Amino acid sequence: MQNEKIQSSKAISVIGLGSMGSGIARKFIDAGYQVSVWNRSLLKVDALVKLGAIACDSPNDALQTNEFVIVCLTDYAVWNELVEKYNLKNNLQDVCIIQLTTGTIEEVVLHQNFIQNHGGRIVDGAIMCYPNQLGSKDSSLLMAGESNAILDCNPFLRILAPNWTNLGDDIKQPTILSRALMAGFFSTLVAFLNSIAICLEAGISLDLFLQHAEKGDATIKPEKIRLIEAIRDGNTMETQASIKAYGEGHKAVLSIAKTLGTNLILQDAVQEVFQEGYRLGLSEQDFSTLVRVFSSKNK
């Protein structure tokens, strides 16, 4: 393909066509954009070409064709491999990279410096939804970067998430916030599976379990909001339920799990958290104060 940049506000390149990358490319195609795509697997490229995308022979083609380039790969190791293999640093001048690849804080900062040192611009972000939710009211996109670059990327970002979140110029923020959210998500699902295991051991119907779990969800959401507000406002002495009260409840859970013979790896870990809270002298304070257990100041 030609290596002359397309001068259009409705043209974009996408490097990386996994489930999310392909979903991103399709969303732009559906919106009438001219979309250039590259992926190591040609089958994924061919599938999008049939929908109207333009195939790139290399990631360098993707960089040379459009000013705005979305990179959506498994991790930074894959991206760095491409950078080295194709010598991409020579084609970053005047390119704006919209980096949606999962990375560590250190990788994100190094990557920002690398792009800027080679004449490019960079915004970094995290997609917090499934591919089929892109562009809908349920889409979620966290972004950060230099203000002018963010402003220029806005039309593209709105295609993916109409109400995307601008976290400012600190490039690290999307990575930190997204991983914090994922920590809660993963922990919740692991605990849910542990609850299912307890019911299975006791021969309790999972339909019955689900019925009451859904009722519990109605309690969990407002409690999460209460905890955040208590921590945010420093109002942890007006106790709705003390750490000690929650801890006694957990002892009962641990006892049942032990009697039924389920693996205690999760319940033992939760018990350690309560014990650390007691050690810090928090037993009579509100449950929200347990956040101090995870503070770096208590290491």
- Sign of the C-alpha dihedral, residues 176, 181, 182, 184? positive
How many domains would you assign to the chain? 2
Which CATH number is 238's domain given?
1.10.1040.10
Q: How far apart are the C-alpha atoms of 240 and 234, rounded to whole Å?
A: 14
Show pLDDT as tens, one digit a residue, over the chain (299 residues).
445 555 567 999 999 999 999 999 999 999 999 999 999 999 999 999 999 999 999 999 999 999 999 999 999 999 999 999 999 999 999 999 999 999 999 999 999 999 999 999 999 999 999 999 999 999 999 999 999 999 999 999 999 999 999 999 999 999 999 999 999 999 999 999 999 999 999 999 999 999 999 888 888 888 899 999 999 998 877 667 889 999 999 999 999 999 999 999 999 999 999 999 999 999 999 999 999 999 988 76
Same domain assignment for residues 87 and 140: yes
Same domain assignment for residues 159 and 270: no
Quick one: 272 exposed, middle or buried, by C-beta within 10 A (0-12, 13-18, 19+)?
exposed
167 belongs to a structural domain = yes
Which CATH number is 61's domain given?
3.40.50.720
Same domain assignment for residues 149 and 79: yes
Q: How far apart are the C-alpha atoms of 109 and 116, rounded to whole Å?
A: 11
Same domain assignment for residues 69 and 160: yes
Single pTM value for the model: 0.88
At residue 38, the 3 state secondary structure works out as strand
* Enclosing domain of residue 244: 205-298
